[in-house]
Amino acid sequence: MSPRQAPAVWRRAVTVVTGCVLAAGLAGCAGAAPELETDAAAKLQQRVLEVTRSAAGSNPAAALKSLASLSSELDAAAAAGQVSFKRHRSITAAITAVRADLAAAQAAKSAAARAAAPKATAAPKPSPTTAPAVVVPAPAPAPAPANGGRRDNSGKGSSDGNKDKGSGKNKG
């Protein structure tokens, strides 16, 4: 998904974080006591770029992970005295707002995936490899005749089979 197609929530989130970090970086370059030192600003801007790319790529889970890293680095920079309390508080507020937007976007994406999932799996087709093989036993061989396979001439048309009948028709 291109950045132009990204939902408005993600674009707003990216804009807010980018604006806060850039403003913090520019304020760090100004006069007397820097509110944000240059090294800290560069590291934070890298994290903002990660958040921006993930959000623009419609990946709110990755954007939230990058946002957590940004927050951790911001806290570490503040503890090291590289970020003033005032600047830390303003960037943290922006991170909180972006986190809420990304969490809502992630929830919407998950809900859409769940809504689409039953439609895709409504009628699962059986796989031919999963059907058990049916084994048909071979028929048993027929028993051998009792007379060794010889014919006994006891049926119609044999000379022995008609002894009880007369030798001609209409004898009377």
Domains of the chain: 8-116 (1.20.1440)
pLDDT score at 113 = 85
Q: What is the pLDDT of residue 56?
A: 87
Predicted confidence at residue 15, as pLDDT, reads: 66
Identify the CA nearest to 51 among candidates 29, 26, 74: 74
Buried b (16+ CB within 10 A) or exposed e, 138-155: eeeeeeeeeeeeeeeeee
Residue ranges of the chain with per-residue pLDDT less than 70: 1-33, 118-172
pLDDT on residue 94? 92
The whole-number pLDDT of residue 112 equals 86
At 58 the pLDDT is: 85
- Report pLDDT for 86: 93
Tokens of 48: 């903002």
**pLDDT at res. 1:** 46
